[in-house]
Amino acid sequence: MIPVQIRRRQVSVPPALHHYSGLIGQILASRGVQSPAEVQYELRGLSDPYTLSGMAAAIERLLQALEQQARVLIVGDFDADGATSTALAIQGLSACGFRRLDYLIPNRFDYGYGLTPEIVDLAAQREPDLIITVDNGISSMAGVARARHHGIDVLVTDHHLPGAELPAAYAIVNPNLPHEHFPSKHLAGVGVMFFVLIALRQQLRDRDIFSQLGIAEPNLAQFLDLVALGTVADVVPLDQQNRVLVEQGLRRIRAGHACPGINALLTVAGRQATEITSKDLGFFVGPRLNAAGRLDDMSWGIECLLSTSEQKALHYATDLDNLNRERREIETTMRSEALASLDELRLDDATLPWGLSLLQPNWHQGIVGLVAARIKERYHRPVIAFAPANEDTLKGSARSIPGLHIRDVLERIDSQQPGLIEKFGGHAMAAGLSLPAKHYAQFSAAFDQAVKGMLDPALLDPIITSDGELRADDMNLQTAQQLQRLAPWGQGFPEPIFDGVFAIQRKQILKERHIKYALSPLNTAHTFDALAFSVDPTEWPETGQQIHIAYSLDINRYRGATELQLMIRGRVDTPR
C-alpha cells in the first residue's frame, strides 16, 4: 500500500435530502443521489425489460422453444458472473416450464473464453435446438456462424462492450449495444439474464401459459441471491438498478432464503448469513467460486449453486474452499516472483514504465489477473501479467488504474500494429488478450508507449477521494450502522471514506503482512482499533508517532459483541 494523496469531495445537498443528517446527506449527494427514492431499493424500482431492444425477439424464440420443449443449452463463462448466470438460467427457465435444459462451460485452458467454433462443435454433440449464451457471446462472430452451420439458433445475453461487428444471432440482449435506451449500462451478465426471465414470465402470464402447463407462476425474487453474488463478484458499477438487485439479494440471504450452495460457501468462509454485506460476497464468496474456473473446471461451482441438498452443496463448497487455498498459495508465489523481477531492474519513479508487462515461464494463466491486480496496487501503474498458454502463445490479463480505459489501450495497439495481438476484449478496468510469444518484447514496448500517449501523468499519483474529516461526535458505532443501512456500496457507488490524523497508541504486526493499530484522534481520549492489510509493516510509523490515514468505518462482531473499527484504505502522502 503506497502513500496516497487526498482529494476531498465538495458537494451541495439537494433539498430532497435535507431530512437526512448533514453527514449522510452529503455522502448521498456526492454519489449523485437526488432523492430518498434512489436508496429505497424496492423491486418496483427495476426498469421495464422490454426497454432492451433485443428482448422481444429473444422472448418469442424462448416461447417457441418452450412450446416445442426444445433442447436448450446454456453456454456460460468460467468466472463467478458466468457461474451465477448459468445457474440462474437453468433454475429460472426450469421454473418457467422448460424441461430439456443443460449447460456447458468452456474450460479456459482448452477452449478459452466465449462461444468459440470449437465450443460450438462440442455443444453440437448434445444436439441442442437453441444455445443461450450468458455473460459472453457479443464478440463470438465465428462461434455463432458455426452454430448456424449446425442448424442451431443462438440467443446472446451479454453485457460486455461490442466491437464494430455483431454476431448474426437470432437475438441479442445486451444493454451496451449501440443506441440502447435501457437505463443501466452496467448490468452484469447475471443481471441481463434476470431481466430476460422477468420479460419471459410476463409473457407467460399474459398468454395464460402457466395454467396451460399446469405449473405455478414462479416468484423470480427467489433467485436474487444468485443475481447479487454475480453482480458484486464481477465488480460492475453499482448504479441504481444494480443496487436494487444486490440489496434485494442480500435481504434474502440474511433472511435465510439463500440457495444451499451460497449458504455452504458462506459456511466454509466463516461468514454469518444474517450479517452478510456486499463486501462478504466480493471478498469471501466470489473468490471461492472463481477458484474453480481459475484452476480447474467451473462446473464445480455451478453444481454447488444448483444443489438442492445442503449436504451435497457443502461437499462442493468444501472442494471450492480447498481450491481457493491452492489458488492463494500459487498467487503468493507468483506475486513474489513479479516483485522480485521488478526489484532486480532497480527502477525508480522516473524509469519505471507507465505500462508494466510481466511474464514468467512457470506462471499459471488462471492466476495472472490476480497478480496484475496486486502489482497495480503496489506501483499504481496499469499492468498486464502473462503466462504461456502453449509453446507459441501467451495469455495475458490486464488491470488498469482510474482514468485509463484498458480495452481502449489494447484497441489502439491493435490498430497501430495489426497482427501484434491475436485477440483481446474487456472493460475499462480489466481486459484479457492473447499474443504470439515471439511478440512479447514488441508488445511490452507498445503497451508502455500507448499508456504514455493516453494517460494524464497526474493520474500516476494515487489519489483517494475522501468524504472529509469525520467529527469526533460522528466517529461511533451508530454512524457505521447508518452507513451500512444505505448499502450496498461498491464500484461506482463507493463506500464512504474519511481521512484524519491520529496518534498511534499501539502497533501490532499480524502474519508479517498486516498491521493492527490502536489509534486516537488528536486531542481526544477515544481509541479505536484500525487494520491495514497487505502492507510492508517496516514502512509504516510506530507507536508514539502520528499517522494521517484514509479509512472507512467497519463493525467488528466478535462473540456477540459489536464495536467500531477503522479499515485503513491508504496512508496519506505529503502533497508534492
| β-sheet bridge partners, residue 284 | none
- In CATH, the architecture of 47-321 is Alpha-Beta Complex (3.90)
Q: Where in the chain is the domain with CATH 2.40.50.460?
A: 5-9+464-571
- Can you list the alpha helix ranges (DSSP code H) found in 395-438? 406-416
Reported pTM: 0.90
Rg of the chain on CA atoms, in Å: 24
Please give the pLDDT value at position 516: 96
Sequence-separated (6 or more) residues with CB below 8 Å from residue 387:
359, 360, 363, 364, 365, 367, 368, 394, 395, 396
Digit-coded pLDDT (tens) for 122-153: 999 999 999 999 999 998 999 999 999 999 99
Nearest Cα residue to 317 out of 267, 272, 366:
267
Digit-coded pLDDT (tens) for 288-337: 999 998 888 899 999 999 999 999 999 999 999 999 999 999 999 999 99
Please give the pLDDT value at position 1: 62
Q: Where in the chain is the domain with CATH 3.10.310.30?
A: 345-460
Burial label, 166 (beta-carbon count in 10 A; 0-12, 13-18, 19+): middle
Band (575; pLDDT cuts 50, 70, 90): very low
CA trace torsion 519, 524, 526, 532 (10° rounding): -20
Arithmetic mean of pLDDT over the chain: 93
Instruction: Give phi and psi for 572, each to the nearest 5.
Output: -80, 130
In words, the CATH class of domain 5-9+464-571 is: mainly beta
In words, the CATH class of domain 345-460 is: alpha beta
Please give the pLDDT value at position 534: 84
